[in-house]
Amino acid sequence: MSYKRRRGLGGRGTGETGKGHDRGSGSGGERGGMPTGRRRALISASAVVGALLFGYGAAALWLFPSTANAGDAAVVRVPDVVAMTEADARSRITESDLEFTVRTGMHHPDAPEGTVLSQSPLPGQFARPGAPVEAVLSRGPEVHTLPDVAGLSERQATIVLERLGYTVDVQRREDPIPSGRAVETEPPAGTELKVPGNLVLVISEGAPIVVVPDLRGMHIDDAVEILSEAGLELGSISFDEAAVEAPGRIVGQYPPPDYSLRAGDTVELRVSGQPDRLNDDAESDLL
């Protein structure tokens, strides 16, 4: 058998192959095309959507014609009620033979509560008598109660306040609260403040720096008072029995004189004498 005959390219085989190709083409076209049922459903859906859009468009054109003669008695010009109070806007719309309706309001930092922020249709458009005019009313500025952020880190306090909608101005000052922590806000916590708004966040730089006084040679009772006046506190006390100074006198201190400390820090003292003897002397003074 020749190559042509085997491949169906000649003689009777060619015709049969051609017929088979025609049938295959027809079948392939059916498979490749959209099924009849689906095509009919799509056409029906398109028709429904088109009818709805046509109906909506017709209603919109009827209620709010795009162009009209100002003297046409069948239409009225929509008045401008933006920035009016609700009562004045309602009266103005009703006098124009239109229906005043209110949509959900929204907060506005400057417009008082009940003020018209926007309207639809826009001022100057034409509408059929009785058509609705929707107004969006202001709910006034948004207001929050300032939280207490004292003790938070600067970053934490700033995040809390900024998320509420405030602009934060950081100021620093000396304070017994550890450095880098929030001291307070100005205005203070609990104040009602509108959004957006500005406030001051006070951050501690730590307690003020003080100089350690020279306490050597003083009696311990006098030293306690001097430390308090300097903003420092008495730390641990040790006793030196071999000291030649009178009992109760300070023979050493740590930190040394003129050393810089934060207010509220402690100073350790070394006192001459014995603890028991010092207590006895104190009791004698009381007697």
Q: Is 160 exposed, middle or buried (0-12, 13-18, 19+ CB in 10 A)?
A: middle
Task: Average the pLDDT over 231-239 and give the result.
Answer: 94
Is 76-138's fold the same as 143-204's? yes
CATH architecture of 143-204: 2-Layer Sandwich (3.30)
Which of 286, 284, 277 shows the shortest CA–CA distance to 240? 277
Query: Residue 16: pLDDT above 50?
Result: no
Q: Determine the Cα–Cα distance for residues 20 and 25; give it in Å rounded to an integer.
A: 9
Using 50, 70 and 90 to split pLDDT, how confident is the model at 109?
confident
Note the pLDDT of residue 27.
42
Residues 31-47 have pLDDT tens digits of 445 566 656 655 655 55
Amino acid at 172: R
Note the pLDDT of residue 65.
55
Note the pLDDT of residue 44.
57
CATH architecture of 76-138: 2-Layer Sandwich (3.30)
CATH classification code of 209-286? 3.30.10.20
Note the pLDDT of residue 287.
36
> Taking the domains of the chain in order of start, what are their residue ranges?
76-138, 143-204, 209-286
Query: Residue 282: pLDDT above 50?
Result: no
Q: Determine the Cα–Cα distance for residues 183 and 152; give it in Å rounded to an integer.
A: 8
Note the pLDDT of residue 74.
84
Query: Residue 280: pLDDT above 90?
Result: no
Q: Which DSSP letter does residue 239 get?
A: E
Note the pLDDT of residue 249.
94
Residue whose structure tokens are 């859009």: 53
Using 50, 70 and 90 to split pLDDT, how confident is the model at 134?
very high
- Put simply, whether the predicted model's pTM sits higher than 0.75 gets the answer no
Q: Determine the Cα–Cα distance for residues 207 and 181; give it in Å rounded to an integer.
A: 12
Note the pLDDT of residue 92.
96
Reported as half-sphere exposure (CB side, CA atoms, 13 A), residue 112 has a value of: 4
Residues 46-89 have pLDDT tens digits of 554 455 555 544 444 445 555 555 455 689 999 999 999 999 99
